[in-house]
Each structure stands twice: as structure tokens, then as C-alpha cells.
């Protein structure tokens, strides 16, 4: 039988105390972060579209090359 108390790791204690003593949110900073997040999502969408377009180009060029080498 174990009569010792459970030890909570320091990392867990700091995490739980950080949640409780959270400072008030600055509305301007929150708006700026939302704007930056939206801009990053737009950049990601554009990059994905570019990758997709490039993959299609590669497939078309490979098909043309195979057709010419036959």
C-alpha cells in the first residue's frame, strides 16, 4: 500500500497556473493576430494552388515527352 502523496511535475503545475492567471486580452493585438492569420491562410491557399498547377504542368509535359519518344 502506498501512503505517499502524488507529486505533480513542475511543467504541469506551471501550465495549470498559467491558465488560471491569464492576463486580459488586448483587443487591438487580437485583431492584428486575426488579420495576420487570415493573410497567412491566403498565402497558403495561393501556394497550394501554385503547387497543384505545377503538378498538372509536369504531368502534361511528361505525357507529351512520352508521346514524342515513342
Q: Tell me, yes or no, whether 63 lies in a domain.
A: yes
pLDDT at 48: 97
- Spatial separation of the C-alpha atoms in residues 7 and 15, rounded to whole Å: 15
Number of domains in the chain: 1
Percent pLDDT > 70 in the chain is: 69
Give the predicted TM-score (pTM) of the model. 0.56
pLDDT at 64: 97
Confidence check: pLDDT of 54 > 80: yes
- Residue 49, C-alpha cell as written in the block: 494552388
Q: Tell me, yes or no, whether 18 lies in a domain.
A: no
- Spatial separation of the C-alpha atoms in residues 29 and 22, rounded to whole Å: 15
Q: Tell me, yes or no, whether 34 lies in a domain.
A: yes
What is the domain range of residue 42? 27-69
Amino acid at each position: 500500500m502506498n501512503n505517499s502523496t502524488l507529486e505533480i511535475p513542475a511543467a504541469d503545475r506551471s501550465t495549470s497556473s498559467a491558465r488560471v492567471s491569464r492576463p486580459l486580452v488586448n483587443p487591438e493585438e487580437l485583431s492584428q493576430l486575426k488579420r495576420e492569420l487570415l493573410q497567412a491562410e491566403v498565402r497558403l491557399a495561393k501556394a497550394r494552388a501554385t503547387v497543384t498547377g505545377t503538378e498538372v504542368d509536369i504531368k502534361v509535359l511528361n505525357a507529351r515527352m512520352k508521346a514524342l519518344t515513342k
